[in-house]
Structure formats: C-alpha cells, structure tokens
Structure 1
C-alpha cells in the first residue's frame, strides 16, 4: 500500500509540475489579452506549482487516487490547449455547426 501511495505522490507531483510549466511557457502570438484569463492562469500556475514544490520537499502528506486522476486530466487538457486557458474553457464546435472565426 505504501508503494502505491508513493507512486501516486510522484505522479501527482509530475502532473502538477508539468501543468505549471506548460502554463508558464504559453505565448499569446497575436491572441487578444483577457484579464480574467490571465488571472485564472496565474491562479492555476500558483496552485499547481505549489503542489509540485510541496511534494518535492516532502510536505504534501495526503494523496488520493481521485486527486491524482483529476490532475492527470487537467494536465492533459492544458497540454492539448497548448497552455491557452481560454481554449480550456471554450466548448468545442458542434458537428455541422458553422464555424465563425474571431
């Protein structure tokens, strides 16, 4: 049981660290600045980075499979959105719906 907890802890720390680094490395490249998105990205960077740092320092005690799974899904979503918080929250276009570029 202790080995599973250690694996979950390491996996959780790696996912939180990867999420933090991907959000930090986002480049707008012509996208419009949105204050709310920047604030949300900042909060996500601080939260995920603090979890990764606390795990690295051995101060993160309680780990749960569902928390680890949630962080894996969040990390995959952030990477698929290329670090763009607006793309994380934007719904994908429906099949057959006309596409309106902004």
Structure 2
C-alpha cells in the first residue's frame, strides 16, 4: 500500500517538474547553455520516470521515502523559482550592510 502511494506521488512530482520546466519563459533572463542542458536532462529524467511508472516497470519501495521527500523539495523549489533552474541551483544573494568591512571585525 505504501509503495503504491509513493509511486503515485513520484509520478505526480515528476509531472510537476516536467511541466514547469517545459513552460519556463526567459523574459529577459540571461541564457546559459549549461543551465539549459541541465533543465533538458531533468525533464528527460522526469519524463522517463513517468513513462516507466505508467508501463508498470517502476515501483517505489517503502524504504525509499527519503528520496520521494527529496524529489518533493526539488519540485517545490523549481515551482517556486517559476521553472528557472538557475534560480534553484544558485543561492540567493545576502544583503550586505557593510558593517564587517568598515569595522574590520572590531566590536563584535
């Protein structure tokens, strides 16, 4: 029973990943060939997993639940970044207030 639920969850998470990456629009974002290739590879893997599940050749065992959680976090991150894989893979810039440079670490 748990295996069936995990398998269905993986199918839908892969569908979300595939559709969100496929519908990404650059809208002025910088083109990077490496990120485009990575997005195509992720879409290919997600699509392949969906096909394997539909054909009945891929079943997710119950002990693999941490991988399903990892896939869910990744899918959520891609969705949150509007399909921009570069936005998922690079950290957000931290605002710099300049205190560490002006005071040279004194007074902490």
Normalised by the size of structure 2, how large is the TM-score?
0.81
Give the corresponding residue for 1:11. Answer: 9
Please report the TM-score for the alignment, with normalisation by the length of structure 1. Answer: 0.86
Q: How far apart, in 2, do the equivalents of 1:29 and 1:83 lie? A: 12
- How far, CA to CA, are the matches of 1:80 and 1:97 in structure 2? 24
The count of corresponding residues between Structure 1 and Structure 2 is 95
Runs of 4+ displaced beyond 2 Å: none
Q: RMSD of the TM alignment (CA)? A: 1.3
State the match for 1:81 in structure 2: 81
Aligned to 2:52: 54
> Which 5+ residue runs of structure 1 have no aligned equivalent?
none
Alignment match, 1:21? 19
In our comparison, the structure showing a higher alpha carbon Rg is 2
Gapped runs of 5+ residues in structure 2? Answer: 98-108
